[in-house]
A and B are shown apart, each in its own frame.
Chain A
């Protein structure tokens, strides 16, 4: 499958949420979609999942508009934090019917996951705890095995062991059945190792889309004496700076050339990696939040 957005724009009335988005998702990999609250993650994913239409611009899946396209909609699963009020069936009885609509749904796998996430039993989904309801969303999303599977922060309510189980299952199942998986999240530091590629959106715009390895090699943390650091960082894009006494630490965005590394070592600076979370925080910092 192949997703392509061209000048995608979405507005709710006068309120513009997505501006001129252009991106392409081609390979069956795990994509991390990062963005702050209100950045437009859910809105973007809603368009991919055919939950709503873009106001203007174009979103195509395999070359066609997904909205109301029966063939494409069958291939896309969009899981979000669903309100299960009034759902009187138990997880195991709900999944039995899902295969009727989902062409790739694997009931056996769904039942296995239900056991692993301790969702077996007759208790209705509405009566399960928030965390268990989230786990149920995860079960449905994984077992649907849709060529495009989207998890929009469904794991937020889950406790740490359950999230860990989800990450493991995700990687295991992705290896056996590769598909496009989009994970939107706030839990950047916890989930970064899952991402093959990262998309950061900010205020309705794509800030960057790059492979995970490329993204973390793009930034470095340079620590050393104030003067040396200032001299080294003079012509570079500084994302963040901190100072304690005479020691200064700067986070630099942009690739380090061999000459840069040499210069840093001559100045006695220590170069360390930058975490995706640090990059994310710095890149999406609002003007008034800069210290």
Chain B
């Protein structure tokens, strides 16, 4: 007896569940953003503020994503269908979040512009003075917070696309770390945190090369990469991350 593949169903369900969480997160973030409008005179647009918060949010829900593995296996779904389903769900989520934040940001701008004198700022990387002191931890942290940003008003598609790319990679590394903790042990989990940081550093540096933004000092050696290779390297890095997650979850035992 042949049944249709189950991963489309899994991807739809996982997309909805995580989108529900996202609505909550966006709602809370919007409240904070609106609160800031009243309290501060220099406020980022919702879109710009979400650019930073979104990455952390995706990292966190990526880490939670491993918990769907035992849930699905318990309900007779293969690890493969879980994996494919969640890759699709997280990709969908990465596309939808920037569009949602952009739309919310537009409405916010419209309201603020019409009813107050406050100017909302779409930050660019150049606006932020980075104290480059060669401290690798500091730079890694900064690269977490300051992923390369394109102002939506200069190129909306590139801006949304880049936003989606950052979100997707942060989700994947969260998922990768939790998969390593789940499959192997704490030591490997910690090792995979280092792998995750490397993945983010490579992705950011390559995008900086493409966008012609200065690299962080510790990664300046990457300057030798020809610009034409930067995008393929980003794609390969993402594919490698996805493959690593599959390798870690492919035969994972459900511990009870």
Contacts and interface: CB of A to CB of B under 8 A. Distances in A.
B251 interface: yes
A74 interface: yes
B120 interface: no
B184 interface: no
A28 B209 CA distance: 64
B79 A68 contact: yes
B124 to A, nearest CB: 40
B256 A51 contact: yes
What secondary structure prevails in chain A residues at the interface with B? loop
B77 A103 contact: no
A81 B74 CA distance: 12
Nearest to B70: A51
A70 B78 contact: yes
A282 interface: no
A68 B84 CA distance: 13
Interface stretch (A94-102, A184-192, A226-234, A245-253): A94-102
Interface stretch (B2-10, B25-33, B165-173): B2-10
B76 A75 contact: yes
B254 A70 contact: no
Q: Quick one: which of B9, B13, B78 has the most chain A CB within 10 A?
A: B78
B75 A101 contact: yes
A78 B79 CA distance: 16
A76 B78 CA distance: 12
A257 interface: no
Contact of B254 (A51, A76, A100, A146): A51
A73 interface: yes
B3 A102 contact: no
Given A71-B1, A100-B9, A100-B13, A46 B253 contact: yes
B254 A46 contact: yes
A102 B3 CA distance: 12
B201 interface: no
A74 B76 contact: yes
B80 A73 contact: no
Contact of A68 (B2, B6, B74, B80): B80
Interface residues of A, number: 27
A67 B250 CA distance: 10
A65 to B, nearest CB: 12
A101 B6 contact: yes
Contacts of A69: 78
Contacts of A74: 3, 76
A98 B77 CA distance: 12
B78 A102 contact: no
B81 interface: yes
Contact of B253 (A53, A68, A71): A53
Interface string A27-54: 0000000000000001000100011110
Contacts of A134: none
B37 interface: no
Q: Quick one: which of A51, A77, A81, A146 has the most chain B CB within 10 A?
A: A51
Nearest to B2: A71
A100 B13 CA distance: 10
Nearest to B80: A68
30 contacts: A46-B253, A46-B254, A51-B254, A51-B256, A52-B253, A52-B254, A53-B253, A67-B251, A68-B79, A68-B251, A70-B5, A70-B6, A70-B77, A70-B78, A71-B2, A71-B3, A73-B73, A73-B76, A73-B77, A74-B76, A75-B76, A76-B76, A81-B256, A82-B256, A98-B75, A100-B9, A100-B13, A101-B76, A101-B77, A102-B76
Interface of A: 42, 46, 50-53, 67-71, 73-78, 80-82, 97-98, 100-103, 146
